[in-house]
A and B are shown apart, each in its own frame.
Chain A
Amino acid sequence: MTVFLTLFRQFIWRALVREKLRSVITVLGISLGVGVAVAIRLANVGALESFRAATDSVAGETSIQITGSAGRFDEMVLADLGWLRSYGQVSPVITGFAKADLSNIDSDSGEAAVADSHGPYLQVLGVDVLRDRLLRRYRLLRVNDNGAEPGIRYLLMLLADPQSIVLTEQFARRHQISIGSRIFLLIGESRRAFVVRGLLMDEGPARALQGNFALLDIAAAQLSFNRVGLLDRIDVKLKSGSDIGEVEREIREKLPDRLRVLRPETGYDQVEKMIAAFQFNLSALGSIALLVGLFLIYNTVSISVITRREEVGSLRAVGTTQVIILGLFLGEALLLTAVGTVVGLGLGRILAGAAVQITATTVETFFIASAATEAVVRHSVGVDEVTLAFAIALPLSIVASAVPALEAARVSPIEAMRGAERLARSFKPSIKHLLLSSTLFVGAYRFSSLDPTNGLPIFGYVAALMLMFGGAFLVPNVLWLACVVNSRWLARLFFTAVIEAKLASANLRASIPRVSISVAALSVALSMMVAVSVMIGSFRDTVSYWVGETMVADIYAKPITRAATTDEGELSDEAIKVAQNDPQIEAVYPFTTQQIIYADEPVTVGAGDFATFLKHGRLLFKAPSDARDQIRDAIGHDFVTVNESFSLRFKKYVGDMIELPTAFGSHEFKIVAIYYDYSSSRGWVVMHQGTYAKHFPYSRPTSMSIYLQPGADAEVVSERLSRAVDKDAQILFATNVDLRREVMRIFDSTFAITYALELIAIVIAALGVISTLITLILERRGEIAVLGFLGATHRQLRRMVVMEALLIGGVSQAIGIAIGLMLSLVLIYVINVQSFGWTIQFHLPLGFLVQSTLIMIGVTAVAGLYPAARAAKTDVVRFARAE
């Protein structure tokens, strides 16, 4: 061991220190790869963990929950559930989200102050405090200046006034709110005033959502959330010693059909399932950076072996065993990876903040309402992340460096006596590589046709990996061909640099075995960039077309607090009437939505007047292609249309029956049409409003589409409606143009992170190219010196190296585009469909491909400048003396 460590220090460590630049580049590449992977993990875990923490905190000591099968339920049901008390403590709950209007704290509510709708979401709990105190811990900070800790009776008194609210100490401190302050909350379409009567200590539910929690008396909550006579759920804390599973079974058997029992963590499990595909895709994309980083390890060790063959031969000649040689080079890989991983962990923590910010909009829009509030990484780099990073990176680095390390172990002592490999082996095109590539491409095709696993497109990603490796194996032959073509034909295009181009081709051709890996790494990174860009471009075109075809209303209105992931806010009859009575409005299409659980996943049930829709609205139907007759038939029947996500996720098609939980128990509906929908990855079921009212009586319209008379100005009418509704009504009126813009904005922000990830992968690969070129120049310094002897000027030497870089860039881009286009097909037709249930129309972005080619050629030329400068500075005199 001592011998090994001594040799390691003398042979490996000193070389790494001597070749600082190359070592730094390799470490940087690994650290970027690890950093990205860690950042994605922290962002993913952070989003869910904060949601879990909130769910757990708010749940308190709740063992099970009773909810309506179709959402809210009549509170009179409580009277029939007296038997629940035999199992433990029972507490009815109203829960919802409200936006805090922080700009109007303590302002005079008599004035129509402009509401600030950008405040944080507050999770509001409405409970009967007397009953609830055994399920959740409420400790008030203080309620007066006496300093005595108030008891539950005091809390009860506090909340007796329907305008009373209890906030958290954390929230109050953050926003400079004190006891007695008046605060406005935007709840649905209403803006309601409350007076802060107490502050909860930072524990229990108060700790949820970074203190963004509020407590109301249940009656006040019912009034504020427009749920008078309704409940959201009943929380039950079982007696100690109860078997939860057993009790759950018993209760389930006793409950009427319209109610169901579940555990508090079910909500978290459902969201986790929904967000899984998004997070999986993000992790997969982030892994590309790590993969490219590992290419760098292979490259570095490979070059280290090649340039030091003579030294290795000398070591063998003096008696070093093959095992030690193998260990030395594996050790080099491990050392570089370990250092890169440590740096990467720190980098990951920094990048995680950016990752969370970039993905916050997407997570909030599609999965967790309060995510944007939590746009801070709650989860630090802990033991889990450190262990995972090392557990993945170190073994992979051994795999990456195994081949060159074994090659080093096989170097015979005679290499030392013969001298360095001055006579280069020229590369010959290999049928073996072509066969390997073909096999991988065929394999990719087969894997891409397999079904998802638990909703995750695992085989799709396997197919993608096979395509990437297939492309990598093409590199040597394509490089050879490019060198030949350049030398024989393209060089003539360079006019004054013909010899530099020929020399570049000759050098590269001889270096193909060494250069291939870094070219492959750059090709892989580029192919992912092309694939993702083509996919996003196609997606954007599809969404843009869809928006153009289906968003035909002139104005859209919804309560200001309504988001895709909250169940909050309904439009009042007054607001709808105001629209219907406007002389410039031809038709109003109120739409109602309700979130239910279908096959253990949240889906949305929606309803509108199909007659109005048939006259004014539009949907793009997948099956049948024109479903207007089916929509007409659905009026008065239990027929529904579903979106593509629903159909693909649950494998339900036109003609199938689905059983949905309704307010009165399960009921069967028939699917008569499937439509394209890019507004959500959730499943949607849409029915005529009459059918809906029959089965879901407790919901009211949550949005409306407004169709104007010909010639009416949408901005003007929008403005008029805003003024005409109740002054405290918080309704967002958006014109068609504004809404389309918002849809595209959300779309663009959703994919912002993918661009960032791909850019990082390209940077890593470019570092590999620089590292390789520098090494090749060092290895060829004798030849470069000879060129100096023969009269090559510094400029000619620089041009030669830059042209080598350009050839590398050109080949990488060519393979990148070819493989990238194939990958885009996998992304579009396999991964996206299996993850989100979206059909995307393929669109070839020629302009982008041309632009990216030019940029890549520019980038590689720039990457070649430093190695070129080093080549030009080759000390001819020193070489001459050494000769």
Chain B
Amino acid sequence: MPILVVDNVDKTYDGAGRAVNALRGVTFNAEAGDFIALTGPSGCGKSTLLHILGGIDRPTRGRVLLDGVELVSLSEEDLARLRRKKIGFVFQFFNLLPTLTVAENVELPLMLDGISNSSASKRTTEMLERVGLGGRAAHYPAELSGGEMQRAAVARAVVTRPDLILADEPTGNLDSENGTQVMKLLAELNREMRITVILATHSNEAAQYAVRLLHMRDGVIEEIA
């Protein structure tokens, strides 16, 4: 069974006094270990789709099933718990908590889930080594470069070994070298851990790391490649 099922999802919201159809009839599936890139112009609905897949937002119509669980039927609390365990996010602006060290940022989802200190610490250390930040664990985000921050964000996204990673323009705030580094990392983790990755991006270079492409325009999936 596909790890992710998106079935005829619509999303309409009020924007400046009129209804905006951000998504219309979006339908696709993703298997475990898929690497899908969502491309399309600004305002086509990529980010809206990612938010719905992540349980942050709810569709106006349609269904989303993650590992057989229908997201729409879950309460806010249950969605939060689901995100901890099964979904990782990587943002354009990294969104590391500035008041926590790199290690503390990475172990945050584990701590939120009540994992013990020692266990969380062990997994965090492993993940930081994996992304090449083993020596930066005690530093604060303000002390890191953009590339390092994004790698820390990736480590945070995968430390819980989620089923799904949702990456929204992860290279949008990085130079080409760092962007390549981050995309390679994502691709490696996708292969090693068989985590499904859905990447929203404007960048052709970033999209090339994906196995499948979904091109969107005006809230509709135009093309699947």
Give the bracket for the number of chain A residues in contact with chain B: 20 to 34
Among B80, B91, B93, chain A packs the most CB atoms within 10 A around the CB of: B80
Residues of B in contact, count (CB < 8 Å): 36
Q: Select A793's contact among B80, B108, B117, beta carbons within 8 Å.
A: B80
Contact indicator A790/B51 (Cβ below 8 Å): no
**Known contacts A783-B98, A883-B168, A791 near B84 by CB under 8 Å:** yes
Residues of A within 8 A of B109 (CB): 790-791
Given contacts A496-B114, A788-B80, contact A877 B99 (CB under 8 A): no
Interface residues of A in 661-684 (CB under 8 A from B): none
Contact A881-B47, Cβ < 8 Å, known A506-B97, A783-B97, A791-B81: yes
Q: Are B47 and A790 in contact (CB under 8 A)?
A: no
Considering the chains assembled together, what is the distance between the CA atoms of A499 and B112 in angstroms?
A: 6
Chain A positions within 8 Å of B92 at CB level: 883
A23 and B117 alpha carbons, distance in the complex (Å) = 42
- The reply to whether B56 and A880 form a contact with Cβ atoms under 8 Å apart is yes
Return chain B residues, CB-CB under 8 Å to A693. none
How far in angstroms is the closest Cβ of chain A from B169? 9
Mask: chain A, 420-441; 1 = CB below 8 Å from B; 0 = not: 0011111000000000000000
Once the chains are docked, how many angstroms separate the CA of A791 from the CA of B112?
A: 7
Which B56-74 residues have C-beta < 8 A from chain A? 56-57
Which one of A498, A499, A506, A510 has the greatest number of beta carbons of chain B within 10 Å? Answer: A499
Is A781 at the interface (CB under 8 A from chain B)? no
Output the nearest chain B residue to A782 by Cβ-Cβ distance.
B95
Chain A nearest Cβ from B7, distance in angstroms: 21
Q: Does B188 contact A (CB under 8 A)?
A: no
B54 interface neighbour in A423, A424, A502, A789, Cβ under 8 Å? A789
Q: Are A786 and B97 also in contact (CB < 8 A) when A426-B140, A794-B76, A880-B47 are?
A: yes
Residues of chain A within 8 A of B141, CB atoms compared: 423
Contact partners of B156 in chain A: CB under 8 A: 790
Residue pair A424, B98 in contact (C-beta under 8 Å): yes
User: Does B112 lie within 8 Å of A425, measured CB to CB?
Assistant: no
* Distance, CA A423 to CA B91, complexed state (A): 16
Q: Is A790 a contact of B84 with CB atoms below 8 Å?
A: yes
Residues in chain B near residue A796, CB distance under 8 A: 112
Q: Which residue of B lies closest to A487 (CB)?
A: B104
User: What mask results when residues 116 to 133 of chain B are scored 1 for a CB within 8 Å of chain A, else 0?
Assistant: 010000000000000000
A792 at the interface (CB under 8 A from B): yes
Known contacts A498-B111, A499-B112, A506-B99; decide if A793 and B93 are in contact (CB<8 Å). no
Q: Is A507 an interface residue (CB 8 A)?
A: yes
Could you tell me if A502 and B104 are in contact, using CB atoms closer than 8 angstroms? Answer: yes
Q: Is A818 an interface residue (CB 8 A)?
A: no
- Of chain B, the residue at the smallest CB distance from A508 is B99
Q: Is A876 an interface residue (CB 8 A)?
A: yes
Measured CB to CB, the closest approach of chain A to B38, in angstroms, equals 15
Which of B83, B112, B113, B156 has most A Cβ within 10 Å? B112
Complex: how many Å from CA A509 to CA B100? 10
Per the bound structure, the CA–CA distance linking A788 and B112 in Å amounts to 10
Could you tell me which residues of chain B, from 156 to 178, have a CB within 8 Å of some CB in chain A?
156, 168
A503 to B98, CA, bound (A): 11
Q: Is the CB of A789 within 8 A of B83?
A: yes
Give A488-506 interface residues, CB cut-off 8 Å to B. Answer: 496, 498-499, 502-503, 506
A880 with B51: CB separation less than 8 A: yes
**A789–B85 Cα gap in the complex (Å)?**
12
Q: CB distance A499 to B111 under 8 Å?
A: yes
Instruction: Determine the chain A residues whose CB is within 8 A of the CB of B83 once the complex forms.
Output: 789-791
A506 to B98, CA, bound (A): 9
A605 to B108 CA separation, bound complex (whole angstroms):
77
Instruction: Give the residue of A503, A510, A791, A883 whose beta carbon is less than 8 angstroms from that of B91.
Output: A883
Question: Once the chains bind, are B108 and A790 in contact (CB under 8 Å)?
Answer: yes
Interface check B35, CB cutoff 8 A: no
Q: With both chains docked as a complex, state the minimum distance between the C-beta of A418 and any C-beta of chain B, in angstroms.
A: 13
Encode A782-814 as 1/0 by CB contact (under 8 A) with B: 110011111111111000000000000000000
CA distance A792 to B91 in the complex (A): 17
Q: Which residues of A contact B111 (CB under 8 A)?
A: 498-499, 502
Complex CA–CA separation, A783 to B85 (angstroms) = 20
Within 8 Å by CB of A510, from B81, B99, B104, lies B99
Inter-chain contacts of A498 with B (CB < 8 A): 111, 117
Q: Which of chain B's residues 38-55 have a Cβ closer than 8 Å to chain A?
A: 47-48, 51, 54
Judging by beta carbons under 8 Å apart, are A423 and B98 in contact? yes
Residues of chain A within 8 A (CB-CB) of B112 are 499, 787, 790-792, 796
**Complex-state Cα separation, A499 to B116, whole angstroms:** 10
The complex places the Cα of A425 from the Cα of B95 at a distance, in Å, of 16
CB-CB < 8 A to A787: which residues of B?
Answer: 97, 108, 112
A876 to B91, CA, bound (A): 14
B161 shortest CB reach to chain A, Å:
14
Q: Is B223 an interface residue (CB 8 A)?
A: no
In the bound complex, do residue A786 and residue B76 qualify as a contact, i.e. CB atoms below 8 Å apart? Answer: no
Let me know if B77 is at the binding interface, CB within 8 A: yes
Q: B142 in the interface, Cβ–Cβ < 8 Å?
A: yes
Neighbour of B80 across the interface among A499, A506, A510, A791, CB < 8 A: A791
Across the interface, name the chain B residue whose C-beta is closest to A791. Answer: B84
Closest to B113 in A: A791
Partner of B98, one of A502, A510, A792, A877: A510
Q: Which residues of A contact B57 (CB under 8 A)?
A: 877, 880
Q: If the complex has contacts A791-B81, A791-B113, A793-B81, are A506 and B100 also in contact, measured as CB distance less than 8 A?
A: yes
Is B99 in contact with A424, judged by CB distance below 8 angstroms?
yes
Complex Cα distance, B114 from A425, in Å, reads 29
Q: How far is the CA of A502 from the CA of B117 in the complex (A)?
A: 12
Which A754-769 residues have a C-beta within 8 angstroms of B?
Answer: none
- Could you tell me the distance in whole angstroms from the C-beta of A77 to the nearest C-beta in chain B? 86
**Shortest CB distance B64–A (Å):** 15
Q: Which of B51, B76, B84, B95 has the most CB of A within 10 A?
A: B95
CA distance A733 to B54 in the complex (A): 84
Considering only residues 94-108 of chain B, those with a C-beta below 8 Å from chain A are: 95, 97-100, 104, 108
Question: Looking at B54, B85, B109, which has the most chain A CB atoms within 10 Å of its CB?
Answer: B109
Instruction: Find chain A residues with CB under 8 A from B48 CB.
Output: 881
Whole-angstrom distance between the Cβ of A872 and the nearest chain B Cβ: 10
Checking A496, A507, A789, A795 against B89 with a beta-carbon cut-off of 8 angstroms, the contacting residue is: A789
B77 interface neighbour in A507, A790, A794, Cβ under 8 Å: A794
- A782 CB contacts on chain B under 8 angstroms: 95
Residue of A506, A786, A788, A791 contacting most chain B CB atoms (<10 Å): A791
Whether A422 contacts B89 by the Cβ 8 Å rule is no
Is A423 in contact with B142, judged by CB distance below 8 angstroms? yes
B77 to chain A, nearest CB (A): 5
A789 touching B56, Cβ below 8 Å: yes
Q: Which residue of A lies closest to B168 (CB)?
A: A883
Residues of chain A with a CB closer than 8 A to B98's CB: 422-424, 510, 783
B99, A790: Cβ atoms under 8 Å?
no
State the Cβ distance, A425 to closest chain B Cβ, in Å: 7
Q: What's the minimum C-beta distance from A789 to chain B, rounded to whole angstroms?
A: 5
Residues of A within 8 A of B56 (CB): 788-789, 876-877, 880
A791-B109, A880-B56 known; A424 vs B142 contact (CB < 8 Å):
yes
Q: Chain B contacts of A509 at CB under 8 A?
A: 99
List chain B residues, Cβ under 8 A from A424. Answer: 98-99, 142
Residue of A nearest to B156 (CB): A790
Shortest beta-carbon distance from B119 to chain A in Å? 13
A795 to B114, CA, bound (A): 14
Chain A residues with Cβ below 8 Å from B84 are 790-791
Q: Nearest Cβ distance between residue B121 and chain A, in whole angstroms?
A: 13
Q: A498-B117, A783-B97 are in contact. List 18 more A-B contacts (CB 8 A).
A: A422-B93, A426-B140, A499-B112, A506-B99, A506-B100, A786-B91, A786-B97, A787-B97, A787-B112, A788-B56, A789-B89, A790-B109, A790-B112, A790-B156, A791-B82, A791-B84, A791-B113, A883-B168
- Sample of 12 A–B contacts (CB below 8 Å): A426-B140, A506-B97, A510-B98, A783-B95, A788-B56, A789-B54, A791-B84, A791-B109, A792-B112, A877-B51, A877-B57, A883-B168
Instruction: State the 5 A-B residue pairs at the shortest beta-carbon distance, nearest first.
Output: A791-B84, A499-B111, A510-B99, A424-B98, A423-B142
